[in-house]
Chain A
């Protein structure tokens, strides 16, 4: 199985901060990577697919980049509604696997 490792596991940030979350795959996955946001008690929400394609309706403050084994999710200016847990997922090969999550908290 391909292991997905996110860093950091959690972070504290202030409103208006630029936030970057990293996801590393244990082997190359081309650009077959998605990012999700999950708020407490809610279903995950798709943000990014194909490493850098923005899901319809997702604000442009979210952006993704990377290819191969190293990927990043960037939130350009953190807003109160962005405090949540973020997950990456590879879909290059079965079984599809998720990262362990990054919790973004208010500083």
Chain B
């Protein structure tokens, strides 16, 4: 059973870069056919798809965040990462990583809360 765990700073200053890592255990991130995804949820709100990276390295981002987001994979560490640049208070949210194969999300991290504040 694959398990995912998010990690990273819980507090980021405005205009700085939010950096999160999702560590994958119980399986290889290089396994074919999977998308490695980031999804966020603003406090008290619904889910927002940020983007994902295919095991081959292809990335797909939400247009609303595309200019500020990078998702990457580190196969040596069995991790994938999210970077959001130039953050504002509107980026304060719970961030989830997940694995999906064509819309079938079979594994989720527990989520990590990131607050943007000075």
Q: Which of B46, B102, B105, B111 is in CB contact (< 8 Å) with A99?
A: B46
Q: Which of B47, B60, B62, B104 is in CB contact (< 8 Å) with A44?
A: B47
Knowing A43-B111, A44-B96, A99-B46 are in contact, say whether A94-B60 is a contact too (CB < 8 A): yes
Asked if residues A43 and B63 are in contact (CB atoms below 8 Å), the reply is no
> Is A46 on the interface with B (CB-CB < 8 A)?
yes
Q: Is the interface of B mostly helix, strand, loop or mixed?
A: strand
- Docked complex Cα distance between A100 and B47 (Å): 8
- Docked complex Cα distance between A97 and B64 (Å): 12
Minimum CB distance partner of B97 in chain A: A43
Asked if residues B48 and A91 are in contact (CB atoms below 8 Å), the reply is no
Residues of A within 8 A of B104 (CB): 34, 46, 49-50, 53, 55
> Is A81 on the interface with B (CB-CB < 8 A)?
no
> Is A101 on the interface with B (CB-CB < 8 A)?
yes
Residues of A within 8 A of B102 (CB): 49, 91
Number of A-B contacts (CB under 8 A): 61
- Docked complex Cα distance between A44 and B48 (Å): 12
- In the assembled complex, the CB of B43 is this many whole angstroms from the nearest CB of chain A, namely 12
Q: Which of B47, B51, B106, B110 is in CB contact (< 8 Å) with A87?
A: B47
Number of A residues, CB within 8 Å of B: 27
- Docked complex Cα distance between A95 and B49 (Å): 8
Asked if residues A89 and B47 are in contact (CB atoms below 8 Å), the reply is yes
> Is A98 on the interface with B (CB-CB < 8 A)?
yes
Asked if residues B96 and A89 are in contact (CB atoms below 8 Å), the reply is no
> Is B14 on the interface with A (CB-CB < 8 A)?
no
Chain A contacts with B in 66-100, Cβ cutoff 8 A: 87, 89, 91, 94-100
Residues of A within 8 A of B46 (CB): 87, 98-101
| B residues adjacent to A (C-beta < 8 A) | 39, 46-49, 51, 60-64, 96, 102-106, 108-111
Q: List 6 A-B contacts (CB under 8 A).
A: A46-B104, A53-B104, A56-B106, A91-B102, A96-B103, A101-B47
